[in-house]
Structure formats: structure tokens, C-alpha cells
Amino acid sequence: MELLVRPVAQMATRFGDLFVGCDTVVLEDFSKLLVIPLRDGCDLMDVIGRRLRAQAAE
């Protein structure tokens, strides 16, 4: 799960400086691109959390 979220966050931080002064359309497209792996990482963490809670309840 961390393998999905951390690289995307690092990439956003590194590329953030490159987009200073860019057109807002470019920034919007870039943010939409970054949302995909972050959302997938959160979905994965949710599934793992559910499984761990179910396992602990047994």
C-alpha cells in the first residue's frame, strides 16, 4: 500500500516546482493523473483494514 501512495506524493512534490506559473488546465490535468494511484492506494488500505479487523474478530 505504501508502495502506491509514497511515490505519487513524492512525484507531486518534485514536479510541483516545475508547474509554477503554468496554465491552470495543465495543473488540473496533472492533479487528475495523480489522483488515480492515490485513490487505488487508499482502496487497497481499506481492503487490508477490513481483512485485519475480520481476522481480529475471529
Distance CA 34, CA 29 (A): 9
Q: Which of the 8 DSSP states describes residue 22?
A: -
CB 1 within 8 A of CB 44: yes
Contact (CB, 8 A) for 8 and 41: yes
CA distance 53 to 6: 24
User: What element of type H or E holds 21?
Assistant: none
Most confident of 15-19, 35-39, 43-47, 50-54: 50-54
Instruction: Tell me what the pLDDT averaged over the chain comes to.
Output: 78
Query: Would you state the cell numbers that stand for residue 21, as one nine-digit string?
Result: 506559473
* Containing structural domain, residue 42: 2-57
Overall domain count for the chain: 1
**pTM of the predicted model, to two decimals?**
0.48
